[in-house]
Amino acid sequence: MMRCLIKCLEVFVLANKYIAIDLGLKRIGLAYSAHKDIVTPLPAIIRKNRNQASDEVKKAIKDWEINTVVIGIPLGGSSEDEMRRRITHFMNLVDFDGEVIYQDEAGSSLEAENLIKGEMKNIRDGRVDSISAMIILQRYLRVKV
């Protein structure tokens, strides 16, 4: 019994904790997971400037004890190189020394909008962005874990 409890605690403590980022010019969507089957959207960051946005992302990473950041990027498109450059610059400001993974974000915003019903669909408070981050992280975890 005690061995099982210790093993369960080891698995919990050593679990990889992920945060997904849907990086936008106005809002930054965030989602969290410490278990491959459960991904939770977090409150989005309303972006005022680079430094404020990177500080808030850094705080979320610290608060949630994140090991791995999964960032949505339009893979294979004409803007991939430019977006990768911008994301790399942003993550340098965040100063995260863990693993950073690029995940294709194609269609995630549209999928997120389709999940939101009624009047909420038109409110631009970051919910769509964080649900998009949730979808990006779910996609990654389905393949990875």
Supply 13's token pair: 């403590």
- pTM of the entire structure? 0.82
Asked if residues 98 and 21 have their Cβ atoms less than 8 Å apart, the reply is no
For the chain, which domains are there?
15-144 (3.30.420.140)
Model pLDDT for residues 10-44, shown as the tens digit of each residue: 444 447 999 999 999 999 999 999 987 899 999 99
Is pLDDT above 50 for 75? yes
Beta-carbon-side half-sphere exposure of residue 128 (alpha carbons within 13 Å):
20
Model pLDDT for residues 94-134, shown as the tens digit of each residue: 999 999 999 988 877 777 777 776 655 555 667 889 999 99
